């Protein structure tokens, strides 16, 4: 018995410990990785596989190479949808994140009366599912019975139809902004709270104003959190589904089947039964999201290196 | 000039006056002397913003008290001629033999099971990625990290086809299985575990002869508490709010969650015209379905923050 713990046995024993720890690590990771592979990796490759086939009346499922992709890249409806989401990204995301950042900074500065309640109440819409948010705003936007139009008309002005083809994109932007400012604000606020106070107490004592402190100390300090919200917003934007699908019912003239890429993929797969083309659309959409996300990450990294 | 009152204020707010300056907690300093530090303009601006966020919810409450006629004929933000809240509530719980309750139960079941499962899986994986160096660990974590950017809805179609091959579409599994995967949860737990569990503690437990699993359950989990709750809440809300996945996977109304059920009632009302109009029922149902999560949010908010703080800063 004493032999096993004698010096010559040291090395194998060390290896045994390492092996035991490795085994434990694999067992900890295994449940997640199994489901991850089954529910994320496999569907991803399956989707890629499907996108190279086409269901034909004669011959059934046939390999068609990149034909679905060529079709998608020349499909005006799909391209319009992607561009529409690009525009959405450029307009809505900055507004939403700027508002979230402003609220987070204001509450964090401690200069707002009832700041705690502001934080809670701004966060509450995140508890409302996107579908129900769209449903509510659908009523609020109504041209005849919606309170927005009623109020504008009460002042003697002409109420714009918020569900018209010209304005509905902005109406959707508003629904998303309403739902997600609080979520992004909480991410930023949590990051602000964990900045060590010493970082800006000195600046405060030197008489720097709150704006100066926010701009030069707080915002740079929470840059990773802001980047996180940007990435999540990009992913969320390209996946818009609930809003167009709900608004399609109340404003069919304004929302086409391909209004957003995700809504298009859904319609192709489950209304038109064209699974293969839908898979190609979903795949291209995923690639677009990844490219945009990486470009954003790279550009912020470069900026960090320059400064 | 202004430096002195701030330091004084801070010192006075401390339990031990004139405590060492470096150790001053920011929070107690802020609570002090509101007259000096609170800004009326900022307060007004912020509360106007709050009104914007409350406006649809106020409308929802008011609209729940209206019948179908008042809903389309009276001013949206004030009560109608009749106060029909009780009739509407009765209708919510009685339409189609009270299927609303079934939807509510389904929603709770799907989201709690998914939330618990996702939290457990993410915690175990995040803990292992943070605290063990094992072959392939770095690679696996990078793959998981990259997957945060994969749009989950892009997976809905192939997942549906896979599930229909296995015959598990139109079952609870079809909702729960995909919701168990939370790459962001793993990322959050890895960052959180790296910070919250000192390596020395694990080493000490090992020297005491504790097995790796006992260390995880008794040392790790205890310290990871707030992070686990954050991941749980994220996964729970994601499932609770999900619309596309259950819409694709489920056919039987008795399996619907609230989102799909209410949306279908709404579109049936819109399409069906006068006779089948359930508008006020759908609105009241929306109100009832929103209340539990709103209350849960108000109670659990500190968890969002504590768990997110690490993820956001170190990310």
Q: What are the residues whose beta carbons fall under 8 Å from the beta carbon of A142, sequence distance 6 or more? A: A149, A163, A250
| Pair (B149, B261) in one structural domain | yes
For chain B, the domain total comes to 2
Average pLDDT over residues A220-240: 88
Q: Which two tokens stand for residue A2?
A: 């004493």
Q: Across the strands, what pairs with A61?
A: A55
| Pair (B121, B251) in one structural domain | yes
Residue A104: pLDDT above 80? Answer: yes
Residue B69 lies in a domain: no
Q: Which two tokens stand for residue A200?
A: 């800006």
Chain B's closest residue to A242, CA to CA, is B243
The reply to whether B299 touches chain A by the CB within 8 Å rule is no
Residues in B touching A144 (Cβ below 8 Å)? 72
Query: How confident is residue B14, by pLDDT bands cut at 50, 70 and 90?
Result: very low
Q: What are the residues whose beta carbons fall under 8 Å from the beta carbon of B217, sequence distance 6 or more? A: none
Q: State pLDDT tens for residues B260-299.
A: 999 988 888 877 655 556 888 899 999 999 998 888 877 7
* Substitution target from B4, B23, B30, B56 for chain A, most A beta carbons within 10 A: B56
Residue B91: pLDDT above 70? Answer: yes
Residues in A touching B59 (Cβ below 8 Å)? 136, 139-140, 147
Distances (CA, A) of B199 to B127, B220, B226, B303: 12, 11, 19, 24
Q: State pLDDT tens for residues B130-176.
A: 999 999 899 999 999 888 877 776 788 889 989 999 999 999 999 99
The reply to whether B229 touches chain A by the CB within 8 Å rule is no
Spell out the domain ranges in chain A.
3-50, 75-306
| Pair (B99, B34) in one structural domain | no
| Pair (B155, B263) in one structural domain | yes
Q: The domain A75-306: what is its CATH number?
A: 1.10.3720.10
Q: Which of A32, A135, A145 sits opposite B122 (nearest CB)?
A: A32
Q: pLDDT at position B307, please?
A: 63
Q: pLDDT at position A307, please?
A: 58
Number of residues that make up chain B: 315
* Substitution target from B154, B210, B235 for chain A, most A beta carbons within 10 A: B154
Query: What is the phi/psi pair of residue B33, to 5°?
Result: 50, 65
Residue B275's CATH number: 1.10.3720.10
Q: Which of B42, B157, B263 sits opposite A112 (nearest CB)?
A: B42
Residue whose pair of structure tokens reads 């707030």 in the numeric block: B226
Structural domain including B11 reads 3-38
Mark residue A113 as left, alpha or beta (left: phi above 0; alpha: psi -120 to 50; beta: remaining).
beta
Q: pLDDT at position A274, please?
A: 87
Angle formed by the axes of helices A130-141 and A147-154, nearest 10°: 30
* Of residues A232, A238, A251, the one with CA closest to residue A134: A251
Percent with pLDDT over 70 in chain B: 81
Residue B220: pLDDT above 90? Answer: no
Average pLDDT over residues B17-44: 54
What ipTM was reported for this prediction? 0.86
| Pair (B108, B227) in one structural domain | yes
CB within 8 Å: A266 and B2: no
| Pair (B167, B274) in one structural domain | yes
**Three-state DSSP state, A60:** strand
Q: State pLDDT tens for residues B168-211.
A: 999 999 999 999 999 989 998 998 888 888 888 888 888 888 88
Q: pLDDT at position B304, please?
A: 67
Q: Which of A32, A127, A249 sits opposite B186 (nearest CB)?
A: A32
Average pLDDT over residues A248-276: 89
Positive or negative, the Cα torsion across B11, B14, B20, B22? negative
Q: pLDDT at position B273, please?
A: 57
Residue A13: pLDDT above 70? Answer: no
| Pair (B173, B289) in one structural domain | yes
Residue B44 lies in a domain: no
Residues in B touching A117 (Cβ below 8 Å)? 50
């Amino acid at each position: 018995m004493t032999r096993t713990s004698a010096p010559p046995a040291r090395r194998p024993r060390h290896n045994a410990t390492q092996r035991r720890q490795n085994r434990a690590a694999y067992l900890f990771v295994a449940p997640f990785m199994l489901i991850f592979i089954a529910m994320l990796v496999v569907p991803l490759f399956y989707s890629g596989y499907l996108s190279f086939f086409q269901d034909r009346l004669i011959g059934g499922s046939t390999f068609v190479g990149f034909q679905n992709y060529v079709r998608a890249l020349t499909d005006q409806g799909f391209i319009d949808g992607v561009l529409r989401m690009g525009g959405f990204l450029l307009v809505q995301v900055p507004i939403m994140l700027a508002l979230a950042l402003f609220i987070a900074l204001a509450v964090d500065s401690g200069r707002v009366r009832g700041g705690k309640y502001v934080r809670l109440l701004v966060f509450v819409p995140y508890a409302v599912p996107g579908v129900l948010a769209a449903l509510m705003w659908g009523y609020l936007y109504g041209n005849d019975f919606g309170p927005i139009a009623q109020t504008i008309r009460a002042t003697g002005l002409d109420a714009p139809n918020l569900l018209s083809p010209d304005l509905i994109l902005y109406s959707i932007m508003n629904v998303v902004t309403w739902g997600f400012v609080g979520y992004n604000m909480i991410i930023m606020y949590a990051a602000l709270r964990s900045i060590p106070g010493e970082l800006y107490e000195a600046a405060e004592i030197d008489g720097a104003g709150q704006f100066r402190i926010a701009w030069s100390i707080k915002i740079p300090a929470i840059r990773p959190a802001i980047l996180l919200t940007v990435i999540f917003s990009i992913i969320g934007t390209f996946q818009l589904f609930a809003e167009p699908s709900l608004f399609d019912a109340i404003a069919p003239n304004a929302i086409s089947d391909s209004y957003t890429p995700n809504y298009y993929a859904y319609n192709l797969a489950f209304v038109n039964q064209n699974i293969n083309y839908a898979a190609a659309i979903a795949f291209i959409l995923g690639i677009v999201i990844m490219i945009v996300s990486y470009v954003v990450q790279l550009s912020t990294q470069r900026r960090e290196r320059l400064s | 000039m202004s430096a002195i009152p701030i330091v004084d204020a801070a010192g006075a707010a401390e339990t031990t006056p004139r405590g060492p300056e470096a150790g001053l907690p920011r929070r107690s300093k802020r609570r002090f002397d509101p007259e000096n530090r609170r800004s009326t303009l900022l307060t007004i601006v912020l509360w106007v913003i709050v009104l914007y966020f409350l406006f649809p919810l106020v409308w929802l409450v008011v609209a729940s008290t209206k019948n179908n006629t008042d809903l389309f004929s009276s001013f949206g933000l004030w009560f109608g001629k009749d106060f029909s809240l009780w009739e509407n509530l009765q209708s919510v719980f009685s339409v189609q033999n009270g299927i609303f309750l079934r939807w509510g139960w389904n929603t709770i079941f799907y989201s709690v099971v998914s939330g618990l499962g996702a939290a457990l899986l993410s915690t175990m994986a995040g803990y292992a990625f943070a605290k063990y160096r094992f072959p392939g660990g770095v690679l696996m974590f990078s793959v998981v990290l990259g997957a945060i950017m994969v749009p989950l809805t892009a997976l809905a179609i192939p997942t549906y086809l896979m599930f229909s091959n296995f015959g598990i579409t139109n079952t609870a599994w079809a909702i729960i299985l995909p919701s168990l995967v939370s790459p962001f949860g793993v990322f959050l737990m890895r960052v959180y575990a790296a910070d919250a569990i000192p390596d020395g503690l694990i080493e000490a437990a090992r020297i005491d002869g504790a097995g790796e699993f006992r260390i995880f359950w008794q040392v790790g989990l205890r310290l990871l508490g707030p992070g686990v709750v954050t991941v749980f809440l994220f996964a729970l809300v994601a499932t609770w709010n999900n619309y596309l996945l259950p819409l694709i996977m489920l056919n039987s109304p008795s399996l619907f969650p609230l989102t799909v059920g209410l949306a279908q009632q709404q579109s049936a009302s819109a399409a069906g015209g006068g006779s089948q109009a359930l508008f006020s029922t759908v609105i009241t149902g929306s109100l009832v379905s929103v209340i539990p999560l709103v209350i849960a949010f108000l109670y659990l908010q500190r968890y969002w923050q504590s768990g997110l703080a690490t993820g956001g800063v170190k990310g």
